Structure 1
Amino acid sequence: MILKYEIQKQLKEIYIDNIADLHYNLGSAALYEIAIRRREGIISHMGPLVVRTGAHMGRSPNDKFIVKESSSEKNIWWGKVNVPIEENKYDRIYSRMMAYIQGKDIFVQDCSAGADPDYRLPIRIITETAWHSLFARNMFRQYKNEDELKNHKTEFTVIHMPNFHAKPETDGTNSNAFVIVNFGKSTVIIGGTHYAGEIKKAIFTVLNYLRPLQKV
């Protein structure tokens, strides 16, 4: 059994602290029930969970950035697709996001991306909503048993806080929404958008960077 305090300790290492409650690797049924109870969505005909994503009903390509830092800078083709953002601006946004998280319930899913055991990427998805955690559970590969889960070693973390917004005038973003990949810190931060596909696409971006470096 994985104890909650062990996960909380790991979260503190990335400055996620003073949260209200930690929901770790809850199953689909539990997340479904919590999402309904918290009024994150409604039950439609035949039972599917239906949610509203607000202003962002799809990806926001103009709000995606990659931190320009020494470990990855030379490997990235910078341009209109791979738009750089300075490390200090990332740090500023991250610091405010960590302050925003305090006092909130947090949902964590430890899972992996990729089917090949030699190249799959162990990931941790951290969200403030049950339905985004349910999305991650549905999108990525789950561990088959408790022993496999105990051996999980996160190699990349996605922190998605849709109700946290950037400040374009100081943060260097194009709007209050953002998706920022930091290869140096093995982290993606997402805010200002409820569109769950940003989580999936962020991990695909990470894989498309990491695996070619391994000749995959």
Structure 2
Amino acid sequence: MSDPTTTSLPKDNLIQIGLRATGDIHYQLSPEELIRDALRRKEGVLSSTGALVIRTGEFTGRSPKDRYIVKDSITADTIHWNDFNQPMEEKYFHVILNEMTTFLDSRPELWVRDCYVCADPRHRLNIRVVTETPAISLFAYNMFLRPTDEELEHFNPDWRILSAPGLKLDPVACGIRQPNAVVISFRHKMILLAGTGYTGETKKAIFTILNYLLPKEKNILSMHCSANIGREGDTAIFFGLSGTGKTTLSADPQRKLIGDDEHGWTDDNIFNFEGGCYAKCINLKEDKEPEIFQAIRPGALVENIRFYPGTDIINFEDGSITENTRVSYPLSYIGNSLEPSVGDMPKNIFFLTCDAYGVLPPVSRLTPGQAMYQFISGYTAKVAGTETGITEPKPTFSACFGAPFLPLHPGHYAGILGRKMKEHGVKVWMINTGWSGGPYLKGSRIRLAYTRAMITAALEGCLDNVDYDTHSIFGVAMPRTCPGVPGGILNPRNAWPDPAAYDKMASDVASWFINNFKKYEDGVTPEVRNAAPVTGTQK
């Protein structure tokens, strides 16, 4: 095992960003060394499986209201400024950078990791992560792609991340809301993370910059999605918000997993941005999600869980710290993952939604206009158990299934999706994993076996030559038959005991779509606007 206080990283590389680098610099440590350091510093403990377990402190999730993008000549007219993309004057960036470098210089030791994102080498982006904790360095090892020793010899970072979870900023002096902040500067190619130990901020900050650089500069569609590939090279993409079944449905033992969260779509492939998985583990059970369960082993980093009293055995059902319990691990921990994580052009795209109102069809095929409309809408419904405090269904819309991470107008991403869908003849399906025969507590949840059968039928072309009906309000095409699925649920209106009650509920849900979409209408084409649902008063 190498000496953790020696490094081949020239200190000049740190000095040029304002760090004096007077303490011990732990460069490119192995997971075993990082775990040893975390245990030495009492930052975490080992579970019975050998995974490192940590607490992330005050923040157990992202803090969207405390994330800022520096507004300068590069970003002023290109960023879609909104509640997620909050502008920061450049002078405050320099204040925060100075505070961070002063703070990090005061630490007796720092951890530095060189890594990269984008599995397609044509679009690789080198990242250097400088942090005060070995746990965050372990997270970077797990989640990002790992250079070879030969690549490290000539490694030059394109972007740098400074992470100081122990630093509390002065909100007035720094022009921020409270003592924590995530700051992105496209001019300086830096991400500053202060006052938060939640590791997901690191991952999503990188995703945000890719969502700006790839679509804007390379016409690559950046996507918040999972992806897998069949034996014949047929790639499938799965979009879906929390609770829709994205991870479960994309983990198919008959197909190789390209990745579970972030991908790019070029003119000739699909590629994973990351080198790992960051999975929720609340209520995790081996029989339901064996891949994740078995990945919680030495090298994995588990956040904000509790043990059974008097043991080192994880109690996955305990959400007393947070419902957002998480584990990060390398993609190689998944047995059927694809290496390298680059797939062929997609043939099928699935929009997953958990419609708690029993309105949307279990499976429907979308036109390009409808696909762009539904993509921008990013609809699902949160139900009890999805988040703390949710006791009844709550409609949720997140543009492109990832609104907090989109620096550009959602119409920009939807436009690329529409062009690629048309150019390559990609089929887009909407899959409702929610309720049928009535709303939440009245109808019944669509069986997972039926959902899997619908996806399999779409992948195998079994829905290409069947008869379809058109939904009277949403206009989507509903197959009359599907192998392995009772015909009585394929048209949702027929599954309700009271068709008039269905019509009323469908009209209500349609009105939510229409009202949500108003804020995007100016940035989309007539083809997209015309794909909106039609309420009873409009027909």
TM-score (norm 2): 0.39
The answer to whether structure 1 residue 159 and structure 2 residue 162 are counterparts is yes
2:9/2:27 contact within 8 Å kept: no
In 1, distance between residues paired with 2:174 and 2:103? Answer: 16
1:111/1:142 contact within 8 Å kept: yes
Shift of 1:96: 1.4
How many correspondences in the alignment? Answer: 213
2:68/2:182 contact within 8 Å kept: yes
In 1, distance between residues paired with 2:89 and 2:69? Answer: 9
In 2, distance between residues paired with 1:80 and 1:71? Answer: 20
| Map of 1:40 onto structure 2 | 43
| Map of 1:119 onto structure 2 | 123
Q: Out of 176, 179, 183, which is 1:180 matched to?
A: 183
Shift of 1:4: 3.5
The answer to whether structure 1 residue 94 and structure 2 residue 100 are counterparts is no
Q: Out of 207, 210, 222, which is 1:207 matched to?
A: 210
Q: Out of 129, 135, 138, which is 2:139 matched to?
A: 135
| Map of 1:110 onto structure 2 | 114
Which has a greater percent of helix? Answer: 1
1:94/1:189 contact within 8 Å kept: yes
Change (3 A) 1:103 1:169: closer
Q: Out of 69, 76, 80, which is 2:79 matched to?
A: 76
Query: Match for 2:175: what amino acid?
Result: G
2:69/2:88 contact within 8 Å kept: yes
Instruction: Map 1:4-23 onto structure 2 (within 5 A).
Output: 4=7, 6-23=9-26
| Map of 1:189 onto structure 2 | 192
Cα distance per residue 1:53-89 (max 9 Å; x no partner): 1110000001000001112322211121110010111
SS in 1 for 2:122: coil
Cα distance per residue 1:175-199 (max 9 Å; x no partner): 1110000000000000111000100
In 1, distance between residues paired with 2:209 and 2:124? Answer: 12
In 2, distance between residues paired with 1:151 and 1:157? Answer: 16
| Map of 2:68 onto structure 1 | 65
Q: Out of 23, 26, 31, which is 2:29 matched to?
A: 26
The answer to whether structure 1 residue 198 and structure 2 residue 209 are counterparts is no
1:123/1:157 contact within 8 Å kept: yes
Which range moved further: 191-200 or 101-110?
A: 101-110
SS in 2 for 1:97: helix
In 1, distance between residues paired with 2:57 and 2:151? Answer: 37
Cα distance per residue 1:98-129 (max 9 Å; x no partner): 11111321111101011110012111111100
The structure with the largest alpha-carbon Rg is: 2
In 2, distance between residues paired with 1:151 and 1:169? Answer: 41
Query: Match for 2:146: what amino acid?
Result: Q
Q: Out of 48, 52, 68, which is 1:49 matched to?
A: 52
1:24/1:107 contact within 8 Å kept: yes
Cα distance per residue 1:33-59 (max 9 Å; x no partner): 111111111111221111111110000
Query: Match for 1:108: what amino acid?
Result: V
Unaligned stretches of 5+ in structure 1? Answer: none
Query: Match for 2:211: what amino acid?
Result: N
SS in 2 for 1:170: helix
In 1, distance between residues paired with 2:61 and 2:75? Answer: 28
2:14/2:21 contact within 8 Å kept: no
Percent identity reads: 37
| Map of 2:420 onto structure 1 | none
1:18/1:103 contact within 8 Å kept: no
Shift of 1:5: 6.4
In 2, distance between residues paired with 1:92 and 1:12? Answer: 17
In 2, distance between residues paired with 1:150 and 1:111? Answer: 13
Which range moved further: 92-101 or 3-12?
A: 3-12
Change (3 A) 1:183 1:110: same
Query: Match for 2:89: what amino acid?
Result: E
Change (3 A) 1:109 1:169: same
| Map of 2:488 onto structure 1 | none
Which range moved further: 81-90 or 5-14?
A: 5-14
Cα distance per residue 1:139-190 (max 9 Å; x no partner): 00001x3111113221011110000112112211111110000000000000
Which range moved further: 21-30 or 149-158?
A: 149-158
Shift of 1:6: 4.6
1:106/1:127 contact within 8 Å kept: yes
Change (3 A) 1:159 1:78: same
Change (3 A) 1:6 1:32: closer
In 1, distance between residues paired with 2:128 and 2:206? Answer: 10
In 2, distance between residues paired with 1:204 and 1:110? Answer: 17
| Map of 2:173 onto structure 1 | 170
Change (3 A) 1:134 1:5: closer
Structure number with higher relative contact order (C-alpha < 8 Å, ≥ 6 residues apart): 1
